[in-house]
Structure 1
Amino acid sequence: MSAPIASLFSSGTGGLPAATPLDFRALRLPSSPNTCLAATAGAHPEAQITIPPLPVDADAAWPVLLRVGDAQPRHFRYGQWPERRQAQWVARTPLMNWPDIVTAELIPGGPHSGLLLYSRSLFGHSDLGTNRRRVEAWLAALDAALRRR
């Protein structure tokens, strides 16, 4: 069974190749409408959602970001690179178990930090807005968690 097909019958991160960090500087969004990229102003030229800087530095935001990602329904930690302050999760869709990938990276910036948050489908052309809704939910959860900290 090929890896893409196996991933549909797996759970969590099963059936997927090993995670590798995403180079956001080289990221070019596909023409398909099955991705969503949110970024702090100026952090990425193709961001579909522009967000303000986070109110805390990257060191303080990192553990909060990991907790927020781990708390999302049907999300499974896929990989993390603390030196880059980047982590990835596999998000499984509820009906078909499709594996989507969510990548978050903090950008150090003094007392504040920037954020790149990218959600993408591994299969299909259209996601009917799923990745955008996922990114918006993450942003709301991260904002709430940072305010509580």
Structure 2
Amino acid sequence: MSKLGLLFGRGARGLPPAVPVDFAHLVLPPSPNTCLAAPAGGHPGAHVTVPLLPVDAATAWGVLRSLGERFPRTSLIEAWPDRRQAQWVERSALVNYPDIIAAEVVPLPGGAGLYLYSRSLLGWSDLGVNRRRVDRWLAALEAALRQG
């Protein structure tokens, strides 16, 4: 993966091949350019705790799957429906930096849990971009679930 390929690609072009994220064993990098949201007790390094979603996992997956296409400069990279997991790339408006967003819905008693991981592929610090993105996705998911 070359930095030039990352910067000059559009959508998923120039990115390394997508592989599913194993959230149970995810090791977060030491850099501050990531944000992980997880269900309560879902990951010891989670930056954000996601409340239980008040719908079953299949319903939450359908809503989540449609969310990514609603955000500017965001493209689906790959989806694994059997895992209820998908990955998107969002590119910055000015420099075209690619950030990866991975999400997985898991069935839990009384509803569904959500893992949402946003990370930069370039640089050390993101000035809070990934945290704001996770907050934006969580708010959009909550609003979409309320609308039914």
Normalising TM by the smaller chain, what interval?
over 0.9
Structure 1 unaligned blocks of 5 or more: none
**5 Å matches for 1:122-137?**
122-137=121-136
Tell me, in whole angstroms, the C-alpha distance in 2 between the residues paired with 1:124 and 1:48.
19
Q: Given the alignment of the two structures, is residue 14 of structure 1 paired with residue 10 of structure 2, yes or no? A: no
Structural RMSD (CA): 1.0
**1:42-67 deviation digits (Å, cap 9, x = unpaired):** 11111001121111010111110011
- 2:75 is aligned to 76
1:80 alignment partner, SS class:
strand
Tell me, in whole angstroms, the C-alpha distance in 1 between the residues paired with 2:19 and 2:12.
13
Q: 4+ residue stretches of structure 1 with deviation over 4 A? A: none
State the shift of 1:4 in Å: 3.0
TM-score, structure 1 normalization: 0.96
Conservation of the 8 A alpha-carbon contact between 1:41 and 1:50: yes
2:143 alignment partner, SS class:
helix
- 1:86 is aligned to 85
Conservation of the 8 A alpha-carbon contact between 1:3 and 1:17: no
Q: Identity, % of aligned pairs?
A: 57
Tell me, in whole angstroms, the C-alpha distance in 2 between the residues paired with 1:17 and 1:3.
9
Structure 2 unaligned blocks of 5 or more: none
Question: Matched residue pairs, number?
Answer: 148
- 2:61 is aligned to 62
State the shift of 1:110 in Å: 4.0
State the shift of 1:109 in Å: 1.5
- 2:2 is aligned to 3
